[in-house]
A and B are shown apart, each in its own frame.
Chain A
Amino acid sequence: MAVMTMVQAINSALETKLKEDPDVLCYGEDVGVEGGVFRVTENLQKQFGEARVFDSPLAESGIVGTAVGMCIAGLRPVVEIQFCGFVYPAFNQILSHVARMHNRTRGRYRMSMVIRFPYGGGIKAPEHHSESMEALYAHIPGLKVVIPSNPYDAKGLLISAIESDDPVLYLEPKKIYRAIKQDVPDEKFTIPLGQAKVMQEGQDLTLVSYGAMIREAQKAVVMAKKEGYSIELIDLRTISPIDRETLAQSIRKTGRVLSVTEGPKSFGVGAEIISIANEEAFLNLEAPPTRLAGFDTVPPYPRGEGWYFYPPERIFYEIKKLMDF
């Protein structure tokens, strides 16, 4: 057991798998010598050598495209893209090949890769450096989309992602890369993909979130408690495939659901959660299933960040509205 930040926990997961499985490779821009923009792969090249942990040229399409080939030929690449907004040069690879190769070959090819990248706001930078585009990927059949909210989960989920025979997009909430410290086992452990976690049980309302917004949601839960509301907080952990069962059970119990996400509101993950509430818990509902999300605009430059990324007070306000409905 050691106290780790999320950056350290992810590094530890990579180390665990590099040690255990000779077919695991890590590469991407500045990943080798430098240890990545956010130093997530620090020291891995020293430990495992340039053949297994290396720098790629600045070419996202090439990075992900070669990973497709490596998977077909039996390797397990874990590639890093520097920011959520820099995935798009590789979008063609992801949609056309990563997500579909397994289906296209009727199961003969396994896309056993992980594509890791930081997402979300918190560093006062515009658009590509701050956006939260998980819904784009969750919309594509054939991909798994995973987002941890704390160091412990980050390690367990990443190990599962690397071991998965499906391609996993692993989004890292950069805002809390170093903000939370937690006890994380040094040894190997896994957290299954596709399972949400009930972080706190409650009776009155189901609050659903993931990634960096979990922290904000937790603060809102405390505020709500002071007002006498009992909130059930669910961390999705895997965005796609979404854990319908856990959500359905909770919403049937509480009759109210509020989703808290960061990306643009329309056509987002919140819409999916509301649909699940309608499909699975319609007769139990006490208030309209509701979503809080970012604005339908491009993440703005510094001055606007405080407006775009909403505070716990807004979550609490929304909880109150639903309780008073």
Chain B
Amino acid sequence: MKSSSLSSYPIDFLKKLLKDMLLIRRFEEKCGQMYGLQKIGGFCHLYIGQEAVAVGSIAALDLNRDYCLTAYRDHGHALACGLCPNGLMAELFGKATGCSRGKGGSMHMFDITKGMYGGNGIVGAQIPIATGMAMRFRYKKEKGVVLCFFGDGAIHQGVFHESLNLAKLWKLPIVYICENNQYGMGTDFHRVSAVEDLSIKGAAYNIPGKQVNGMDVLEVYEEVLSAVNQAKEEGIPTLIEAKTYRYKGHSMSDPGKYRSKEELESYKQQDPILILKNQMVDAKILTEEEYQSYDEECKNISNESVRFAEQSPEPSLSSLYEDVLA
């Protein structure tokens, strides 16, 4: 489906999509820098290139009620849900002011007051969990929906199949979004998938599947919105495959030898931020100066998050034993 003309959207909505994507981009670039400076330890998976998927999908949610779950590449989803960049950066730094109080790190961003029910380090973990959360809406007869994000690697875990069967059987309001960025770590998805079109994997459970261009934020938004409505109104789950691409390595320690420079460059030509920006400039609802000022703003927010994280206290030694048992 091609995104309908810009004119059908309020200008503020379009600007928000653009700014949200830009903030993710700049925040992630900052993370990359901070990782290089060893301010961030362990693993750090950047979302650069995939911004349109989280932003377009999450724009279809009512974050006061709906739930969003994802994997470890979660900074983008967290920002799109409106988590405070300061708390995210502090979490990455392992500081006590982090959104998981410095104990979760890059892969475990949570804020249930913002509908963000977490990143997950275990590939595929969120799929049955999200499915269970959707049960609440059906059971309580509430009009809510769950968005469950996962990758082209995760789709091969057994729990994916178990969950889709349950979702259909129990008529759960859930939208499964497979972010196909073409690689699971260093492995090209073609090498490990029996089918090329991942959206057909719902068919065995009579779950409708759609492929969308994950570099086009409006196309993502429209498809997810219609799936969200179907889930809320009729209890019909959907599987969406968003075709996307990550510009950076799998994690910060990935030399990226498994793909060509040309491939990477060709995706950068379809950059999700540039697509929307150019559409808006062409439609004369955005000027270059405005865009630059948004960009400045996002850079400032990212810099401020680093300052906040730097100045935040370390977790205490006693916090080691906190929250092991309730």
Alpha-carbon gap, A59 to B124, bound state (A): 9
- Cβ contacts under 8 Å, A59 to chain B: 156-158
- Cβ contacts under 8 Å, B43 to chain A: 125, 129
- Cβ contacts under 8 Å, B320 to chain A: 295, 297, 300, 304, 307-308
Chain A, residues 125-150, CB within 8 Å of chain B (1/0): the string is: 11111000000000000000000000
Alpha-carbon gap, A57 to B158, bound state (A): 11
Alpha-carbon gap, A296 to B40, bound state (A): 25
- Main secondary structure on chain B at its contact with chain A? loop
Alpha-carbon gap, A88 to B156, bound state (A): 16
Q: Given A58-B154, A124-B42, A126-B104, are A297 and B121 also a contact pair (CB < 8 Å)? A: no
- Cβ contacts under 8 Å, A58 to chain B: 123-124, 153-154, 156-157, 184, 192
- Cβ contacts under 8 Å, B192 to chain A: 55-58
Q: Given A55-B192, A58-B192, are A128 and B321 also a contact pair (CB < 8 Å)? A: no
**Interface size of A as a range:** 35 or more
At the interface with chain B, which of A28-36, A221-229, A244-252? A28-36
Q: Can you name the residue of chain B whose Cβ is closest to the Cβ of A302?
A: B41
Contact among B103, B122, B184, B193 with A301 in the assembled complex (CB-CB below 8 Å): B103
Contact among A33, A300, A305 with B187 in the assembled complex (CB-CB below 8 Å): A33
Alpha-carbon gap, A123 to B105, bound state (A): 13
**Interface size of B as a range:** 35 or more
Distance between B195 CB and nearest chain A CB, rounded to angstroms: 12
- Cβ contacts under 8 Å, B104 to chain A: 126, 301
Are B42 and A303 interface neighbours, CB within 8 A? Answer: no
Distance between B149 CB and nearest chain A CB, rounded to angstroms: 15
Interface residues of A in 256-297 (CB under 8 A from B): 295-297
**Residue among B40, B43, B193 having the largest count of chain A Cβ atoms under 10 Å:** B43
- Cβ contacts under 8 Å, B102 to chain A: 301, 303
Are A128 and B122 interface neighbours, CB within 8 A? Answer: yes
Chain B, residues 101-135, CB within 8 Å of chain A (1/0): the string is: 01111011000000000000111100000000000
CB of B204 closer than 8 Å to a CB of A: no
Are B191 and A301 interface neighbours, CB within 8 A? Answer: no
Interface residues of A in 32-90 (CB under 8 A from B): 33-34, 37, 55-62, 85-86, 88-89
Alpha-carbon gap, A129 to B314, bound state (A): 21
Are A300 and B41 interface neighbours, CB within 8 A? Answer: no
Alpha-carbon gap, A60 to B320, bound state (A): 30
Are A61 and B103 interface neighbours, CB within 8 A? Answer: no
Q: Given A123-B42, A126-B105, are A303 and B314 also a contact pair (CB < 8 Å)? A: yes
Distance between B201 CB and nearest chain A CB, rounded to angstroms: 12
- Cβ contacts under 8 Å, A89 to chain B: 122, 124, 157-159
- Cβ contacts under 8 Å, A124 to chain B: 41-42
CB of B317 closer than 8 Å to a CB of A: yes
Distance between A33 CB and nearest chain B CB, rounded to angstroms: 7
CB of B186 closer than 8 Å to a CB of A: yes
Interface residues of A in 81-110 (CB under 8 A from B): 85-86, 88-89
Contact among B40, B159, B258, B314 with A34 in the assembled complex (CB-CB below 8 Å): B258
CB of B315 closer than 8 Å to a CB of A: yes
Are B321 and A301 interface neighbours, CB within 8 A? Answer: no
Are B191 and A33 interface neighbours, CB within 8 A? Answer: yes
Q: Can you name the residue of chain A whose Cβ is closest to the Cβ of B188?
A: A33
Alpha-carbon gap, A55 to B189, bound state (A): 11
CB of B94 closer than 8 Å to a CB of A: yes
Alpha-carbon gap, A128 to B108, bound state (A): 12
Chain B, residues 66-100, CB within 8 Å of chain A (1/0): the string is: 00000000000000000000000000001100000
Are B158 and A34 interface neighbours, CB within 8 A? Answer: no
Interface residues of B in 182-230 (CB under 8 A from A): 184-187, 191-193
Q: Can you name the residue of chain B whose Cβ is closest to the Cβ of A305?
A: B41
CB of B324 closer than 8 Å to a CB of A: yes
Q: Can you name the residue of chain A whose Cβ is closest to the Cβ of B40?
A: A302
Contact among B103, B123, B193 with A126 in the assembled complex (CB-CB below 8 Å): B103
CB of A298 closer than 8 Å to a CB of B: yes
- Cβ contacts under 8 Å, A127 to chain B: 121
Are A125 and B42 interface neighbours, CB within 8 A? Answer: yes
Alpha-carbon gap, A245 to B185, bound state (A): 45
Chain B, residues 237-271, CB within 8 Å of chain A (1/0): the string is: 00000000000000000000010000000000000
Are B187 and A34 interface neighbours, CB within 8 A? Answer: yes
Q: Can you name the residue of chain B whose Cβ is closest to the Cβ of A31?
A: B187
Are B105 and A301 interface neighbours, CB within 8 A? Answer: yes
Contact among A29, A55, A302, A307 with B42 in the assembled complex (CB-CB below 8 Å): A302
Alpha-carbon gap, A125 to B107, bound state (A): 10
Distance between B321 CB and nearest chain A CB, rounded to angstroms: 6
- Cβ contacts under 8 Å, B315 to chain A: 300, 303-304
Distance between B297 CB and nearest chain A CB, rounded to angstroms: 30
Distance between A124 CB and nearest chain B CB, rounded to angstroms: 3
Residues of A near any B CB (own CB < 8 A): 29-30, 33-34, 37, 55-62, 85-86, 88-89, 123-129, 295-298, 300-305, 307-308
New A-B pairs, 17, CB < 8 Å, besides A123-B41, A126-B103: A29-B184, A30-B186, A34-B186, A58-B124, A58-B154, A58-B156, A59-B156, A85-B122, A89-B158, A126-B107, A126-B108, A129-B43, A297-B324, A300-B103, A301-B41, A302-B94, A307-B320
Q: List 12 A-B contacts (CB under 8 A).
A: A29-B153, A30-B184, A33-B191, A55-B192, A58-B153, A58-B156, A88-B122, A126-B103, A129-B42, A301-B42, A301-B102, A302-B41
